Amino acid sequence: MKAEILRLTRAYSEAMHKANRPGVENAHAFTPGVSTVPYAGRVFDADEVEAAVGSTLDFWLTLGPEGEAFEKELAQWMGVKHSLLVNSGSSANLVAFSALTTHKLPAHRRIQPGDEVITVAAGFPTTVAPILQSGAVPVFLDNNPVTGNIATDRLEEAFVPGKTKAVMLAHALGNPFDVGTVLEFCRRHELWLIEDNCDALGCTYSMPVERAKALGFTENSPGIPSNGTHITRYTGAWGDISTQSFYPPHHLTMGEGGAVNIVSRPPLKSYAESFRDWGRDCWCASGKDDTCGKRFAWQLGELPQGYDHKYIYSHLGYNLKPLDPQAAIGRQQLRKLPAFIEARKRNWEILRSGLEDMGEFFEFSLPTHATGWTSGGGFDWDSTHCRTDCSWFGFMLRVKAGAPFTHTDLARNLDEHKIGNRMFFGGNLLRQPAFVQLRKDRPESFRVVGEMRGADEIMRSALFLGTYPGLTGAMLDYEIECVKAFVKSVKSK
């Protein structure tokens, strides 16, 4: 019966979900000006639908065998020690940060209320929210508007001995931040590095072998084999702990979902797992008992000897697990991830080439360490000999100050033509109502180092178009055509 149900499930999906196939396979009719061009969306086929239905028929529901398998497969793919599934990327950031607040860490490494964490002003709010929610103090540095990432020139100025405990940064729109500089800073001052990799799954960062070895990496480190001159790892595999989002716009999807990646320190897994799973001290998976072999032999806190380890709580935690059918979907998506990454790169290049003659009006993004783009898909690079390979989340445009239109004018026009677009998330978060109010209520709750000129420029001038794998050639051509037509119409006025 199950086999017949799954056979019919595939047939149904193949008939009903044509529009969700990858762009290169998509036979779904596109009518310019009538059909919507999403900035992002779900890309899947019958494999994911069959996996979801099959897991639901098994009716484990809570995180179980599919989740366990996906966690292992994701960790292996990324080259990290462990991955823990959670119910969203925001939850992943909360769990990752919370893991570094545990009393089980040495006192000088533990992040406690009042300690400081360096971050960046422009981005998505839930990169920063866990810092505040844990009682720590975010210290904001400016963005480089060309890359969207942190401007690293004031890291030392932001550091306060004894108070600064970590750096928490996102790789902006699938563009790695300057991992080399940030990691050297963290190693020098014994700080945690938390990589928000939610928009960047599949990006790589390369640095010369000797520089990487000085940071503790070897040519035999898990991940991408060294080519003899550079050590290359996926983003999310350089810091101490990292996060993923599997919300539909992201590089792969579980519907809702995310992950916390433990890069190289196994104890962080049990801390993160505890915060994810109600704060309990026990590490047994749901539905399993006594994997430690001494379930009734523990004495912790002021509990009596032998109190059931399944109900001992070492942290004030949450319940942030996803469902097993979601993990079944994620496993199928992971198998498609290499093709998804290549599609994102290809779509970015199509947009960049197509809008090249718009340089009078737009500033274009560059990968970190790149100094210029060359037609045909190449980049010129800086003298650090570090390289980035971007799995682009979006194609960012910044409207030049002298242009006869604003980014809001462009966004409104694109919206009228049914072309999905987004601002660079929250822009300068310090201008958001929540932070303006926080500054009034508790001015000591965050600190700002330097002027936020780059973050303000991003806020006032930037938007991004989609690069996701569901875009077809016709959709991308239509986007380019509409941007050019808009610029032409404004110029002629």
pLDDT digits 0-9 by tens, 427-480: 999 999 999 999 999 999 999 999 999 999 999 999 999 999 999 999 999 999
Please state, for a pLDDT cut of 70, what percent of the chain lies above it.
100
Domain 1-279+314-493 fold is Aspartate Aminotransferase; domain 2 (3.40.640)
| Count of Cβ atoms closer than 10 Å to residue 357 Cβ | 10
Does residue 28 register a pLDDT over 90? no
Average of pLDDT values for 390-409?
97
Average of pLDDT values for 220-245?
93
User: What's the confidence (pLDDT) of residue 46?
Assistant: 97
Pick the residue with more confidence: 224 or 396? 396
User: What's the confidence (pLDDT) of residue 284?
Assistant: 85
Average of pLDDT values for 185-210?
98
**What contacts 24+ positions apart, CB below 8 Å, involve 406-414?**
406/460, 406/461, 407/460, 407/461, 407/462, 407/463, 409/490, 410/463, 410/483, 410/486, 411/463, 413/482, 413/486, 414/465, 414/479, 414/482, 414/483, 414/486
Average of pLDDT values for 102-124?
98
Question: Of the residues 171, 230, 250, 251, which is catalytic?
Answer: 250
User: What's the confidence (pLDDT) of residue 26?
Assistant: 79
User: What's the confidence (pLDDT) of residue 226?
Assistant: 87
pLDDT band at residue 94 under the 50/70/90 scheme: very high
Distances (CA, A) of 477 to 19, 48, 399, 458, 480: 18, 29, 20, 26, 5
Least confident of 22-26, 96-100, 107-111, 331-335: 22-26
The C-alpha atoms of residue 297 and residue 301 are separated, in whole angstroms, by 14
| Count of Cβ atoms closer than 10 Å to residue 451 Cβ | 9
User: What's the confidence (pLDDT) of residue 166?
Assistant: 98
pLDDT digits (tens, 9 = 90+) for 299-319: 999 999 999 999 999 999 999
**pTM exceeds 0.85:** yes
Does residue 376 register a pLDDT over 80? no
pLDDT band at residue 223 under the 50/70/90 scheme: confident
157-191 residues labelled b (16+ CB within 10 A) or e (exposed)? ebbeeeebbbbbbbbbbbbbbbbbbbbbbbeeeeb
Structure tokens at 150: 């942190």
Q: What contacts 327, CB < 8 A, 6 or more positions away? A: 55, 63, 66, 67, 69, 70, 71, 85, 254, 257
pLDDT band at residue 292 under the 50/70/90 scheme: confident
* Integer Rg of the chain from CA: 23
Is 250 assigned a catalytic role?
yes
Count Cα atoms within 13 angstroms, Cβ side, for 480: 20
Helical (H) or strand (E) element with 194 = strand 192-196
Does residue 251 register a pLDDT over 90? yes
The C-alpha atoms of residue 352 and residue 340 are separated, in whole angstroms, by 18
pLDDT averaged over the chain?
A: 96
List, in sequence order, every beta strand (DSSP E) within 15-73. Answer: none
User: What's the confidence (pLDDT) of residue 349?
Assistant: 97
User: What's the confidence (pLDDT) of residue 411?
Assistant: 98
Does residue 359 register a pLDDT over 80? yes
Q: Residue for token digits 């981005």?
A: 123
Q: Are residues 130 and 318 in contact, defined by beta-carbon separation less than 8 angstroms?
A: no
Structure tokens at 336: 């498609």
User: What's the confidence (pLDDT) of residue 491?
Assistant: 85
Average of pLDDT values for 408-429?
97
Task: Give the torsion sign (CA, 168, 171, 177, 183).
Answer: positive
Does residue 288 register a pLDDT over 90? no
